[in-house]
Structure 1
Amino acid sequence: MAFEKVKEIIKNPPAFAALNDLAAARLGGKVLYATDDFFAEKENLILQGRGIFITDKYTDRGKWMDGWESRRKRTPGHDWAVIQLAAPGRIKGFDIDTNFFLGNHPPHASVEAAYLSEEVTDWEAVPWKEILPKSPLDAGSQNFYESISSEIFTHVRLHIYPDGGVARFRVYGEIFKNWDTTGNDETIDLAAAINGAVSIACNDMFFSHMGNLIMPNRGANMGDGWETKRNRTPGNRDWVIVKLATKGTIEKALVDTGHFKGNYPDSCTIEACYAEEDSKVINDEVAWQTILPSQKLGADAEHEFDISNKEIFSHVRLNIFPDGGVSRLRLFGKKA
Structure 2
Amino acid sequence: MSHSIGQPGQVILPDNLPETLPEFVKKTNVADSRLGAKALFSTDDFFAPKDRLLKPELPVFIVGEFDDNGKWMDGWETRRKRHLGYDYTVIQLARPTKIAGIDIDTSHFTGNYPSSASIDALYAPELMQQSDAELAALNKDYWDKKDWQSLVGMTALKGHSHEFVSTDSSDVVTHIRLNIYPDGGVARLRVYGDIQLDSSSSTEETIDLIGALNGGRAIACNDAHFGAVENLLLPTKAPNMGEGWETRRRREPGNDWCIIALGQAGTVEAIEIDTAYFKGNFPDKVSIQAVYAPDTPDATLVTQSMFWDTLLEPQALSADNVVTFSDLKIDKPITHIRVNIFPDGGISRVRLFGKVAQ
Which TM bucket (shorter chain)? over 0.9
Pick the aligned partner of 2:144 from 102, 124, 127.
124
Instruction: Give the structure 2 partner of residue 303 of structure 1.
Output: 323
Instruction: Give the structure 2 partner of residue 59 of structure 1.
Output: 67
User: Which secondary structure state, in structure 2, belongs to the residue aligned with residue 109 of structure 1?
Assistant: strand
Pick the aligned partner of 2:283 from 265, 269, 275.
265
Instruction: Give the structure 2 partner of residue 332 of structure 1.
Output: 353
* RMSD, aligned CA: 1.7
2:248 corresponds to which letter in structure 1?
K
Pick the aligned partner of 1:312 from 333, 343, 352.
333
**Contact preservation (8 Å) 2:17, 2:161:** no
Q: How much does 1:331 deviate?
A: 0.5
Q: How much does 1:41 deviate?
A: 0.5
Q: How much does 1:30 deviate?
A: 0.6
User: Which secondary structure state, in structure 1, belongs to the residue aligned with residue 125 of structure 2?
Assistant: coil
Q: How much does 1:325 deviate?
A: 1.3
Matched, 1:321 2:339: no
**Contact preservation (8 Å) 1:273, 1:287:** no
Q: Distance in 1 between matches of 2:210 and 2:294?
A: 17
Pick the aligned partner of 2:107 from 76, 99, 109.
99
1:313 corresponds to which letter in structure 2?
I
Q: How much does 1:304 deviate?
A: 1.3
Q: Give runs of aligned pairs for residues 108-147 of structure 1, distance below 5 A.
A: 108-119=116-127, 121=138, 122-147=142-167
**Contact preservation (8 Å) 2:47, 2:73:** yes
Q: How much does 1:176 deviate?
A: 0.3
Q: Deviations over 1:226-263 (max 9, x none)?
A: 122222112x2211111112111111111111122222
Q: How much does 1:9 deviate?
A: 5.2
Q: TM-score, normalised by structure 1?
A: 0.93
Cα distance change, pair 285–230 in 1 and its aligned pair in 2 (3 A):
closer
Q: Which runs of 5+ in 1 are unaligned?
A: 1-7
Cα distance change, pair 63–285 in 1 and its aligned pair in 2 (3 A):
closer
Pick the aligned partner of 1:289 from 309, 334, 339.
309
Cα distance change, pair 255–91 in 1 and its aligned pair in 2 (3 A):
same
User: Which secondary structure state, in structure 2, belongs to the residue aligned with residue 212 of structure 1?
Assistant: helix
User: Alignment identity in percent?
Assistant: 46
Q: Distance in 1 between matches of 2:349 and 2:19?
A: 25
Instruction: Give the structure 2 partner of residue 169 of structure 1.
Output: 189
Q: TM-score, normalised by structure 2?
A: 0.87
Q: How much does 1:184 deviate?
A: 3.0
Q: How much does 1:285 deviate?
A: 7.0
Instruction: Give the structure 1 partner of residue 49 of structure 2.
Output: 41
**Contact preservation (8 Å) 2:204, 2:355:** yes
Instruction: Give the structure 2 partner of residue 31 of structure 1.
Output: 39
User: Which secondary structure state, in structure 2, belongs to the residue aligned with residue 130 of structure 1?
Assistant: strand
Q: Distance in 2 between matches of 1:39 and 1:149?
A: 33
Q: Deviations over 1:133-161 (max 9, x none)?
A: 11111211222111231211000000111
Of the structure 1 ranges 199-208 and 68-77, higher mean CA displacement relative to structure 2 is found in: 199-208
2:337 corresponds to which letter in structure 1?
V
Cα distance change, pair 287–268 in 1 and its aligned pair in 2 (3 A):
same
Instruction: Give the structure 1 partner of residue 3 of structure 2.
Output: none
Q: How much does 1:33 deviate?
A: 0.4
Cα distance change, pair 278–193 in 1 and its aligned pair in 2 (3 A):
farther
Instruction: Give the structure 1 partner of residue 210 of structure 2.
Output: 191
2:159 corresponds to which letter in structure 1?
A
Q: Distance in 2 between matches of 1:77 and 1:171?
A: 25
Instruction: Give the structure 2 partner of residue 219 of structure 1.
Output: 238
**Contact preservation (8 Å) 1:250, 1:307:** no
Instruction: Give the structure 1 partner of residue 84 of structure 2.
Output: 76
Structure with the bigger percentage of helix: 2
**Contact preservation (8 Å) 2:17, 2:162:** no
**Contact preservation (8 Å) 2:118, 2:180:** yes
2:49 corresponds to which letter in structure 1?
E
Q: Distance in 1 between matches of 2:305 and 2:207?
A: 28
Q: How much does 1:112 deviate?
A: 0.8
Q: Distance in 2 between matches of 1:147 and 1:40?
A: 28
Q: Which runs of 5+ in 2 are unaligned?
A: 1-15, 128-134
Of the structure 1 ranges 183-192 and 280-289, higher mean CA displacement relative to structure 2 is found in: 280-289
Q: How much does 1:286 deviate?
A: 8.8
Instruction: Give the structure 2 partner of residue 4 of structure 1.
Output: none
Instruction: Give the structure 2 partner of residue 5 of structure 1.
Output: none
Q: Distance in 2 between matches of 1:220 and 1:34?
A: 29
Q: Distance in 2 between matches of 1:215 and 1:52?
A: 23
Instruction: Give the structure 1 partner of residue 4 of structure 2.
Output: none
Q: Distance in 1 between matches of 2:282 and 2:115?
A: 45
User: Which secondary structure state, in structure 2, belongs to the residue aligned with residue 94 of structure 1?
Assistant: strand
Cα distance change, pair 38–113 in 1 and its aligned pair in 2 (3 A):
same
Pick the aligned partner of 1:208 from 221, 227, 230.
227
**Contact preservation (8 Å) 1:253, 1:307:** no
Q: Deviations over 1:255-296 (max 9, x none)?
A: 111122222211110111101224142331795111111111
**Contact preservation (8 Å) 1:50, 1:97:** no
1:16 corresponds to which letter in structure 2?
F
